[in-house]
Amino acid sequence: MHMLAKLKNWIKDAKIIYKEIILAKGHFKVPFFTRLKMNLRGFTADQYVRYDLRNNDISDYISEFERWKSRRINGRYNVIMDDKLLFPEVFGRYVDVPKNLAWIDKGTVYNLIGGQFTVPNLCSLLAKYKQVVVKPVYAQGSGRGVHLICWTEDGILVNGQKHTWDSLMASLTKLTNYVIVEYVWQHPYSAKLFPKSTNTIRLVSVLDDGQASLINAVHRIGVEASIPVDNGTKGALVAEIDMETGTLGRAKTFYKITSFTKHPETGAPIQNIQIPHWAQVKEKVLAVAQNFPYIPFMAWDIVITRDGFMVIEVNTSSGVNLFQMWRGERRGPLGEFYRRHGIIK
């Protein structure tokens, strides 16, 4: 059985290297042999440019391969966070989370209270909430498959595109295993940064020897190319957060070697912007993480609201690109945590 488990892990590792590293889409021109060298060490070609590995020491950085292996840390309990139907049932006991409004599967929209949605039902739902989010029940980040449905005076908009009721229902009934979720209205400071996406905070908590701690935080900010999400893999901005003060530093993007003190499209200031309710966020997240001794790693996606904050999702791992655009994390708290859990040596 021990040998079988090793074989299974070897197959999983090979799939990660092939799919997530060798086949990773490139946005920078990298010579073939440099790309090959990076791939053999578990890095994508883009990370060679993004981390400036021509000048920086590669041994200071966590590789993409190790980032994907880190999904194993929480073991079987990943399902609590990966399953978007299960997540609010568990975490909603401790912290504010968006409400699941419906489940879509094999052409049917279920209302989660024992019935199904008709067109008039869905019309009433949108009239009440004005905006809802549709997303896969299972998805490993990057904003894939996420749709924003808006009820406006001009009609129905899906990711900014006009739809009729018939076309909306036709689109929804093509989906399988998707959830319709309450939209979270962000704080004005966040809307000023970029109003066409919900701009979230990624905050990492870890649990060692029964004690929770916060080790990394960034603020993601949407751009036109990323609408309706703020994911870095879609070109959005990522600003470092000072963990003590909750102020934003310069922003960067995965696909340009540039930093920004202002949003390049809206002109809104980014650097030195203060996140409201920051002390409350840290205190609450630490307290909630303490309640899950069987989930040592959590990557929280948080939206600041007028009155506090909401947790959109909690992830079982986090892209290290978000943190390593500023410095390598291999010798920092994240790397040390990975080392204690056998992810890196």
- The 10s digit of each residue's pLDDT in 243-293 is 999 999 999 999 999 999 999 999 999 999 999 999 999 999 999 999 999
Quick one: average pLDDT of 31-53? Answer: 96
Handedness of CA 255, 190, 132, 92 (dihedral sign): positive
Q: Tell me which of 42-46, 130-134, 156-160 is least confident.
A: 156-160
Tell whether 339 is covered by a domain: no
Check residue 333 and give its pLDDT: 96
Q: Does residue 141 surpass a pLDDT of 70? A: no
Q: Tell me which of 46-55, 61-70, 76-85, 118-127 is least confident.
A: 118-127
Query: In which domain, by residue range, is 15 found?
Result: 2-72
Q: If DSSP codes are grouped into helix, strand and coil, which group holds residue 302?
A: strand
Q: Tell me which of 55-59, 144-148, 278-282 is least confident.
A: 144-148
Same domain? 117 vs 175: yes
Binned at pLDDT 50, 70 and 90, residue 165 comes out as confident
Tell whether 11 is covered by a domain: yes
Please say which residue of 182, 208, 224 terminates a domain. 182
pLDDT: which is higher, 169 or 274: 274
Residue whose structure tokens are 């999904």? 71
List phi, psi (to 5°) of 42.
90, 10
Q: Does residue 139 surpass a pLDDT of 80? A: no
Check residue 73 and give its pLDDT: 96
Token code pair at residue 36: 């090959």
Tell whether 247 is covered by a domain: yes
Residue whose structure tokens are 């901005």? 237
Check residue 293 and give its pLDDT: 96
Under 8 Å between Cβ of 56 and 48: no
Cα–Cα separations (whole angstroms), residue 215 to 13, 204, 285, 317, 329: 26, 6, 12, 13, 10
Check residue 7 and give its pLDDT: 79
Binned at pLDDT 50, 70 and 90, residue 317 comes out as very high
Q: Does residue 144 surpass a pLDDT of 80? A: no
Same domain? 148 vs 197: no
Q: Identify the bridge partners of residue 116 per DSSP, sorted by sequence position.
A: 110
Check residue 143 and give its pLDDT: 62
Cα–Cα separations (whole angstroms), residue 56 to 232, 253, 326: 22, 19, 11
The DSSP string of 140-195 is: -STTTT-EEEEEETTEEEETTEEE-HHHHHHHHTT-SSEEEEEPPPPPHHHHHH-T
Q: What is the DSSP letter of 233?
A: G
Q: Does residue 172 surpass a pLDDT of 90? A: no
Same domain? 260 vs 308: yes
Same domain? 133 vs 257: no
Q: Does residue 296 surpass a pLDDT of 90? A: yes
Check residue 219 and give its pLDDT: 98
Count of structural domains, the chain: 3
Q: Does residue 1 surpass a pLDDT of 60? A: no
Same domain? 304 vs 219: yes
Q: Taking the mean position of all CA atoms in its chain, how far away is CA 67?
A: 14
CA pair distance 41, 94, nearest whole angstrom: 40
Token code pair at residue 171: 């689109």
Binned at pLDDT 50, 70 and 90, residue 123 comes out as confident
Tell whether 328 is covered by a domain: no
Is the whole-model pTM more than 0.85? yes
Binned at pLDDT 50, 70 and 90, residue 140 comes out as low
Task: Using CB atoms within 10 Å of the CB of residue 304, give its burial: 0 to 12 exposed, 13 to 18 middle, 19+ buried.
Answer: buried
Q: Does residue 95 surpass a pLDDT of 60? A: yes
Tell whether 298 is covered by a domain: yes
| SS3 track for 60-79 | HCCCHHHHHHHHHCCHHHHH
Tell whether 299 is covered by a domain: yes
Q: Which domain CATH number covers 295? A: 3.30.470.20
Binned at pLDDT 50, 70 and 90, residue 76 comes out as very high
Same domain? 273 vs 310: yes
* CA atoms in the 13 A half-sphere facing the CB of 35: 14
Under 8 Å between Cβ of 259 and 237: no
Tell whether 334 is covered by a domain: no
Same domain? 125 vs 62: no
Under 8 Å between Cβ of 220 and 199: yes
pLDDT tens per residue across span 184-241? 999 999 999 999 999 999 999 999 988 999 999 999 999 999 999 999 999 999 999 9
Same domain? 161 vs 233: no
Nearest C-alpha neighbor of 311 from the set 125, 223, 195, 181: 181
CA pair distance 277, 189, nearest whole angstrom: 12
Same domain? 208 vs 283: yes
Same domain? 86 vs 205: yes
Tell whether 175 is covered by a domain: yes
Task: Using CB atoms within 10 Å of the CB of residue 28, give its burial: 0 to 12 exposed, 13 to 18 middle, 19+ buried.
Answer: middle
Same domain? 201 vs 255: yes
Same domain? 158 vs 191: no
Share the mean pLDDT of the chain: 93
